[in-house]
Structure 1
Amino acid sequence: MSEVAQRFARRVAARNTILEVTVEDCDSFVHAATRDGDDPSLATLHFRRTTLRAMFRSLRHLGINVADPTLDLALPPKSVRTTRPLTDEEVNLVRICALSRGRGATRAAVALALAEATATTREIPLVTAGDVDLCAATVQLPGGARVEPRTAQLTRWGVGVLDRHLGNCDPGQHLVPVRGDVERLPAQAGTCNLIGALLDSAGLRTEPDVRPGSVRAWAGSAIHRRSGRIEHAASALGLRSLDAAAELIGFDWKGNR
């Protein structure tokens, strides 16, 4: 992403400082022709916008009071699906937003770390400090009506977040405290709101195919990309059905056999 950000910086340097960048500057860059002279694909448009958005968020995190013109830069949705996986670049953007909230390990950041490990919004409120093994970079997920209990792999970013957070937790303490009974639906709604607030901060909630489940879908998609096996993704997601796993990560596995 840094190469794209550097190209943008060079593009606007002749006319503006970074504090004077307008939505028109961003729109012109995002829709610029590719190096081959072709119109950019929809995926490229989203990639460029996400790159600029991450750059502006990073500057704010460093204390530079800069606006984010990309919030006014609308693009068509990437898919017609109800919930799509986030891209790697979008996940990095959401992480930046999580760490820009003040303390390094907020409830929202911890919820994001667990979602990156394939936890559902119903599972997240049930996870305790004792379920985490930082040395193995794993977390025990409890499962539920539609997902199996499993040992899930934490991302490197997730390990860092939980490492900072666990020092203040007893083994039986829930990592993402919610009001009321953690077994009930309001707890799940609270988790959805936490992750949803991060997506909103990243400017992604305006896209109709981005929901709190998009983080878990990204995790499953990443596992599938690494392994090349839909059954590996299904197992990691705690899903018994390969069809359900393929639907979640947006993979036409029958058409690719």
Structure 2
Amino acid sequence: MSTIHPTALIDPGAELDSTVSVGPYTLIGPHVRIGAHTTVGPHCIIEGHTTIGQHNRIFGHAALGGIPQDKKYGGEPCELVLGDGNTIREFCTMHIGTVQDRGVTTVGDDNWIMAYVHLAHDCQVGSHTIFANNSQLAGHVHVGDWAILGGFTVVHQFVRIGAHSMTALCTMLLADVPPFVLCQGQPGRARSMNFEGLRRRGFGSERIAAVKAMYKHLYREDVRLEEACLRIARLEQDYPAAAEDVRMMLAFLQQTSAERGIVR
């Protein structure tokens, strides 16, 4: 059975599963849909065309589905969509998308999002990520699965952060972060690969060796990105177990714009 605190204000148009729990003084707007077994803490605001999946935990004072901080926004019915099993801690803010992009801000499944994190309009966050306290994403940022953002990481608009990558405390990202890369600094620079994270996720020795080789081609051989991609492509034959990892890296690099580039 749902547990709705008597001080919560829920618009009759909102669709909440019967198992949803809502804390005191929370406001939920008319276009909100919340799936089974999700808990919403006190003093939250969930508005806009926002869809939240199952088994999410939303802590106090979170503000989800607000209009973008974008002067071009003209009231269009854009969306915020969250998947299942996410933890969203206190004072997080997530905004709906804009018509200048896909019109939707998305967050996947099983993400661990700590306090004061901001996801701006049109961001796309994958699954199994960790955002430490005060991580801040500008508009149109893409974050791949299993990425980890250290506390106070700030990300410029349109930057892409690859799967399995990691940033250190207080990193500022002005360029794309390829998959697996560990970066740090202001602006962020590639320091190594996220080897410890890969081992914890069950990467075997052959896949780890392939990631080391990709790092060498990208950052240690003083070649242009095009040549680095050619060398990385050959790794698929040398490390068959890492074929999918190599393809993911190449797909990411091929979508990198000349204007944005990758962290160096």
TM-score (norm 1): 0.28
Which of the two has greater strand per residue? 2
TM-score (norm 2): 0.27
State the structure with bigger RCO (CA 8 A, min sep 6), 1 or 2: 1
